[in-house]
RNA sequence: GCCGAGGUAGCUCAGCUGGUUAGAGCGCAUGAUUCAUAAUCAUGAGGUCGGCGGUUCAAGCCCGCCUCUCGGUACCA
């Protein structure tokens, strides 16, 4: 194992087209913050890097929809995001943004270096071009009819209706969303990063040299590498982004995935003139904190970029988390199914540590996890209030009651006292070990165990009884109890910085000094503690109901939106309609196409003939239950090979809101081959 | 279909290179207790470790098949 001199921690750059929610916090920022705060307390040289990812097509689309500039969009959300992080105590050394000048320089330089080293391929391809607007169209700027479900309004990269990912060139009747005119095809040149070329290196570096990575991370990398890597375009035709720094590349910018991770480097440059020490010295340990959606970029793509550039170090670990669900459903920005950080703080003022605690204790470390408000309430009331807050309060109140808030001088320690004092360091060690291994939920559990130790100690020694008979014994007990409390004030710092500070203020402790953590004496006798106040308060049922109602409203709104039918297509004339030869037919044979999920091979009697049709209905029907089913079939559709089978025609299906397919068949049995018109 | 990750007590999760009666927290039950935000402490109930087969003296952990969830990928005329 390499001995590192310093650590550089990066956190996934949130995309600046919306605010951030609990999923972001749980998966990336809270664990990164805990880790970095801990290393800082240990006196290690560490930086926490973050920033907003501000380029890419979705931002330009949002700007267009709202009639503002992309810069306006990112300014707005960068502000909101940055504020949320700061309010939740994510202790970035720098929180930058990819629209900054430094970033433009850094990203350009990075591209230039790779280009000069011949690390790119250049390829020409045909893309849609809007002649009226005079620009190439990103997939998202093209809309048309989905070639699969035939719904209007599919985007060039994906049909929102059937969820299929598309190529823009496959859309029927494509239209530019800028001018509304049909685009033309035109040749354009782009630069590609040949990931395939780096495959042997990646195989060795990840699959052999980094077997210690989390299983979800390692497994996904293996999956990608085994599938075979393809060259990936690093530029695209767009006017929002870092311009491709090459002569004659007007109207081309760096693809957002290429410029975003370079943002880590830019942000570091912005922070310190010594940035190269953190990025180029092999004695620096580089760590990427990300969500699972980013594994491929951070383990395969970005390292390939860094390796190709030549002077940079590669990540030593990528502790990626899985996803956090909300009340059983996927968090979704567009469906407003989320707990937004800025809204949380409106409803739960000053309770950022409660959320930090719940998200850490229930972090999606090994698999997707569910955030429920009921669990949130339970963890607050049963753990933070009842175990941690309560112990601190007992300790404080008793000290005030018996010793006017002055730490007593201990008498003789019993075996139990000694044992208890020694156990403190055990919990500290366990916490540290867990932290070092990115096991944050285990770490926070050990912290709570220290509070449990305190409660048990008080219950076992019963100072409130002894005070009547053995005052000197009580002095020792309260001394021990205070040492546990003071240790908590330090140990809590990485996890719950606001509460830890509050506790230290209550105890009149100075600057947090981690070297005291685990020690038997943190507060010396005669140390005067301050007034006791409650660290946490109970969360009432009504608060939780309010949040659940909020989510219910989102759900209702979504359902209403889902019930709306797709807008009508543009008018056509009768002649266009009658070109389609639709007949009734009957399914004679059906079998699932092997090695596919959706495909069913059908033999259909069309009245004209018996023909084979391949249809994507296998998710909804069993082969034997549709034999004899009468259907509508488009018989004059040009035949096409699908999975090696010649498909001659298309079965008409109705699709309801949740994507379920139903046959369109005559309400009474009719002769096969009857015309549908 | 293929690849990857997961399926362990009501809930959320630990279980090291296979080895005594499978663990923790919360919840639940009972008891103790009152310094404390009816908080705390103790004890207990609760699991065919997704299913079936196999290897082994011994399997939650290894192998095969199946099944469910999540992600990736192919396919959808």
Q: With 50 as the cut, is the pLDDT of residue A135 above it?
A: yes
More confident residue, A176 or A458: A458
Go through A155-166 and write b for each residue having 16 or more CB atoms within 10 A of its CB, e for each that does not: bbeebebbeeeb
Q: What are phi and psi of A659, to 5 degrees?
A: 90, 0
Quote the CA–CA distance of A514 and A361 in Å, as a whole number. Answer: 22
pLDDT per residue as tens digits for the range A181-203 = 777 777 888 899 999 999 999 98
* Most confident by average pLDDT, A57-66, A278-287, A620-629: A278-287
Residue A621: per-residue pLDDT = 80
Residue A219: per-residue pLDDT = 86
Residue A659: per-residue pLDDT = 66
Of A residues 339-398, those with CB within 7 angstroms of nucleic strand B are 362, 364-370, 375, 378, 381-383, 385-387, 389-390, 393-394, 397-398
Question: A11 and A53 in contact (C-beta within 8 Å)?
Answer: no
- Distance, angstroms, CA A484 to C1' B24? 22
Residue A337: per-residue pLDDT = 86
pLDDT, mean of residues A590-617: 86
Residue A465: per-residue pLDDT = 93
pLDDT per residue as tens digits for the range A76-95 = 999 999 999 999 999 999 99
Q: With 90 as the cut, is the pLDDT of residue A464 above it?
A: yes
Question: A109 and A121 in contact (C-beta within 8 Å)?
Answer: no
Question: A485 and A395 in contact (C-beta within 8 Å)?
Answer: yes
pLDDT band at A148; cut points 50, 70, 90 = low
pLDDT, mean of residues A469-493: 95
| DSSP character string of A29-92 | IHHHHHHHHHHHHTT-EEEEEEEEB--SHHHHHHHHHHTS-HHHHHHHHHHHHHHHHHHTT---
pLDDT, mean of residues A479-489: 96
CB-contacted nucleotides of strand B (7 Å): 1-6, 11-14, 24-27, 32-37, 39-42, 70-77
Question: Secondary structure of A458-526 in the HEC alphabet?
Answer: HHHHCHHHHCCCCHHHHHHHHHHHHHHHHHHHHHCCCCCHHHHHHHHHHHCCCCCCHHHCCCCCCCCCC
Residue partners of A229: CB distance under 8 A and separation at least 6? A195, A196, A198, A199, A202, A300
| Mean of all residue pLDDT scores within chain A | 88
Q: With 70 as the cut, is the pLDDT of residue A165 above it?
A: no
Task: Name the nucleotide with the smallest C1'–CA separation from A650.
Answer: B77
- Closest residue, CA to C1' of B74: A596
Domain boundaries, chain A: 120-202+214-233, 574-676
- Closest residue, CA to C1' of B38: A386
Strand partners of residue A142: A176
With a 7 Å cutoff on the CB, does A139 touch strand B? no
- Distance, angstroms, CA A220 to C1' B56? 32
Domain A120-202+214-233 belongs to what architecture?
Answer: Beta Complex (2.170)
Of A residues 11-50, those with CB within 7 angstroms of nucleic strand B are none
- Closest residue, CA to C1' of B33: A459
- Distance, angstroms, CA A323 to C1' B71? 10
Q: With 80 as the cut, is the pLDDT of residue A96 above it?
A: yes
Quote the CA–CA distance of A192 and A410 in Å, as a whole number. Answer: 71
| DSSP character string of A331-352 | -BTTTTBS-BHHHHHHHSTT-H
| DSSP character string of A272-289 | -TTHHHHHH-TTEEEEEE
Q: What is the ipTM of this complex?
A: 0.91
Of A residues 426-455, those with CB within 7 angstroms of nucleic strand B are 441-442, 445, 452, 455
- Distance, angstroms, CA A328 to C1' B19? 40
pLDDT per residue as tens digits for the range A213-272 = 888 888 888 888 887 888 888 998 888 999 999 988 888 999 988 999 999 999 999 999
With a 7 Å cutoff on the CB, does A459 touch strand B? yes
Cβ neighbours, 10 Å, residue A394: 19
More confident residue, A434 or A169: A434
- Distance, angstroms, CA A515 to C1' B6? 39
The pTM score is 0.87
Strand partners of residue A589: A603
Strand partners of residue A295: none
With a 7 Å cutoff on the CB, does A320 touch strand B? no
Task: Name the nucleotide with the smallest C1'–CA separation from A616.
Answer: B76
Q: With 60 as the cut, is the pLDDT of residue A386 above it?
A: yes
Q: With 60 as the cut, is the pLDDT of residue A149 above it?
A: no
| Assigned token pair, A677 | 């018109």
Quote the CA–CA distance of A441 and A31 in Å, as a whole number. Answer: 9
Of the candidates A657, A647, A658, A536, the residue with the CA atom closest to the CA atom of residue A596: A647
Residue A169: per-residue pLDDT = 65
Residue A171: per-residue pLDDT = 67
* Protein fold of A574-676: OB fold (Dihydrolipoamide Acetyltransferase, E2P) (2.40.50)
- Distance, angstroms, CA A556 to C1' B65? 44
pLDDT per residue as tens digits for the range A579-600 = 889 999 999 998 878 777 788 8
Go through A642-657 and write b for each residue having 16 or more CB atoms within 10 A of its CB, e for each that does not: beeeebbbbbbbebee
Residue A1: per-residue pLDDT = 47
- Distance, angstroms, CA A346 to C1' B4? 40
For residue A391, give the H/E element and its range: helix A390-403
* Most confident by average pLDDT, A188-197, A426-435, A476-485, A640-649: A476-485
Task: Name the nucleotide with the smallest C1'–CA separation from A441.
Answer: B13
pLDDT per residue as tens digits for the range A300-334 = 999 999 999 999 999 999 998 888 888 888 888 87
Alpha helices, DSSP H only, in A196-313? 199-202, 215-227, 256-271, 275-280, 295-296, 302-309
Pick the range with the lowest mean pLDDT from A119-128, A464-473, A625-634. Answer: A119-128
Question: A480 and A414 in contact (C-beta within 8 Å)?
Answer: no
Tokens 């204790």 belong to A361
Task: Name the nucleotide with the smallest C1'–CA separation from A323.
Answer: B70
Beta strands A582-592 and A600-605: pairing type? Answer: antiparallel
Q: With 80 as the cut, is the pLDDT of residue A147 above it?
A: no
- Closest residue, CA to C1' of B6: A367
High-pLDDT (> 70) share of chain A, %? 91
Residue A157: per-residue pLDDT = 60
Residue A238: per-residue pLDDT = 85
Residue partners of A68: CB distance under 8 A and separation at least 6? none
Q: Residue A626 region, left (φ>0) first, then alpha (ψ -120 to 50), else beta? A: alpha
Q: With 70 as the cut, is the pLDDT of residue A563 above it?
A: no
Question: A410 and A543 in contact (C-beta within 8 Å)?
Answer: no
pLDDT, mean of residues A146-171: 58
3-state DSSP assignment of residue A654? strand
pLDDT, mean of residues A6-13: 96
Q: With 50 as the cut, is the pLDDT of residue A470 above it?
A: yes
3-state DSSP assignment of residue A383? helix
Task: Name the nucleotide with the smallest C1'–CA separation from A453.
Answer: B41
Residue partners of A60: CB distance under 8 A and separation at least 6? A70, A138, A238, A239, A240
Of A residues 462-491, those with CB within 7 angstroms of nucleic strand B are 462, 464-465
3-state DSSP assignment of residue A370? strand
Task: Name the nucleotide with the smallest C1'–CA separation from A637.
Answer: B77
Of A residues 575-604, those with CB within 7 angstroms of nucleic strand B are 594-599
Q: With 80 as the cut, is the pLDDT of residue A606 above it?
A: yes
- Distance, angstroms, CA A675 to C1' B42? 81
Segment A267-272 long-range contacts (CB within 8 Å, at least 24 positions apart)? A267/A49, A267/A50, A267/A51, A267/A94, A267/A95, A267/A96, A267/A103, A268/A8, A268/A47, A268/A49, A268/A94, A269/A102, A269/A106, A270/A94, A270/A96, A270/A100, A270/A102, A271/A47, A271/A49, A271/A93, A271/A94, A272/A47
Quote the CA–CA distance of A435 and A599 in Å, as a whole number. Answer: 48
């Amino acid at each position: 194992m390499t001995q590192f001199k310093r650590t550089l921690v990066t956190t996934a750059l949130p995309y600046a087209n919306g605010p951030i929610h609990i999923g972001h916090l749980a998966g990336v920022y809270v664990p990164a913050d805990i880790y970095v705060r801990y290393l800082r307390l240990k006196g290690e040289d560490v930086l926490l890097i973050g920033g907003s990812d501000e380029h890419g097509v979705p931002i330009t689309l949002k700007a267009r929809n709202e009639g503002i500039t992309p810069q306006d969009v990112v300014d707005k959300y960068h502000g909101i995001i940055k504020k949320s992080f700061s309010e939740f105590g994510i202790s970035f050394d720098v929180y930058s943004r990819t629209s900054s000048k430094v970033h433009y320089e850094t990203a350009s330089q990075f591209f230039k270096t790779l280009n000069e080293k011949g690390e790119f391929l250049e390829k020409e391809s045909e893309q849609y071009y809007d002649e009226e607007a005079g620009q190439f169209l990103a997939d998202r700027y093209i809309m048309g009819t989905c070639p699969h479900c035939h719904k209007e309004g599919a985007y060039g990269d994906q049909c929102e209706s059937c969820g299929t990912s598309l190529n823009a060139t496959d859309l029927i009747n494509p239209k530019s969303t800028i001018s509304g005119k049909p685009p033309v095809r035109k040749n354009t040149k782009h630069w590609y990063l040949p990931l395939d070329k780096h495959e042997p290196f990646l195989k060795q570096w990840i699959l052999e040299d980094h077997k210690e990575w989390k299983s979800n991370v390692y497994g996904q990398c293996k999956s990608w590498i085994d599938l075979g890597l393809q060259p990936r375009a690093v530029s695209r035709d767009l006017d929002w982004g870092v311009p491709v720094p090459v002569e004659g590349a007007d109207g081309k910018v760096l693809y957002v995935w290429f410029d975003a991770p370079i943002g880590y480097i830019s942000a570091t440059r912005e922070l310190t003139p010594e940035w190269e020490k953190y990025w180029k010295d092999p004695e620096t340990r580089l760590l990427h904190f990300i969500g699972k959606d980013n594994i491929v970029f951070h383990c395969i793509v970005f390292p390939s970029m860094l390796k190709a550039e030549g002077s940079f170090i590669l990540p030593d670990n990528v502790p990626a988390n899985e996803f956090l669900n909300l009340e059983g459903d996927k968090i979704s920005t567009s469906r407003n199914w989320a707990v937004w950080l800025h809204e949380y703080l409106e409803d739960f003022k000053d309770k950022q540590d409660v959320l930090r605690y719940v998200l850490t204790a229930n972090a999606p470390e090994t698999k997707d996890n569910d955030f429920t408000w009921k669990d949130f309430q339970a963890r607050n009331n049963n753990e933070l209030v009842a175990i941690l807050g309560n112990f601190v309060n007992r300790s404080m109140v008793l000290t005030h009651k018996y010793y006017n808030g002055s730490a007593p001088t201990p008498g003789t320690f019993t075996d139990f006292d000694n044992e208890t004092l020694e156990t403190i360091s055990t919990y500290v060690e366990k916490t540290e070990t867990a932290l070092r291994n990115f096991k944050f939920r285990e770490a926070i559990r050990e912290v709570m165990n220290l509070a449990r130790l305190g409660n048990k100690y008080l219950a076992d020694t019963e100072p409130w009884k002894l005070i009547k008979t053995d005052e000197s014994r009580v002095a020792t007990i309260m001394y021990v109890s205070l040492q546990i409390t003071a240790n908590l004030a330090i140990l809590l710092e990485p996890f719950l910085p606001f509460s830890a500070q509050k506790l230290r203020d209550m105890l009149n402790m100075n600057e947090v000094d981690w070297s005291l953590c685990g020690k038997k004496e943190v507060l010396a006798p005669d140390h005067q503690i301050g007034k006791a106040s409650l660290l946490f308060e109970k969360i009432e049922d009504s608060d939780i109901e309010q949040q659940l109602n909020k989510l219910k409203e989102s759900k209702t709104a979504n359902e209403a939106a889902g019930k709306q039918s797709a807008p009508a297509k543009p008018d056509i004339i009768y002649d266009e309609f009658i070109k389609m030869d639709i007949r009734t037919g009957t399914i004679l044979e059906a079998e699932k196409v092997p090695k596919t999920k959706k495909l069913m091979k059908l033999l259909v009697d069309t009245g004209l003939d018996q023909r084979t049709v391949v249809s994507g209905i296998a998710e909804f029907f069993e082969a034997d239950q549709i034999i004899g089913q009468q259907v509508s079939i488009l018989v004059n559709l040009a035949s096409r090979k699908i999975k090696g089978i010649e498909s001659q025609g298309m079965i008409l299906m109705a699709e309801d809101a949740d994507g379920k397919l139903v046959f369109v068949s005559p309400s009474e049995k009719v002769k096969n081959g009857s015309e549908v018109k």
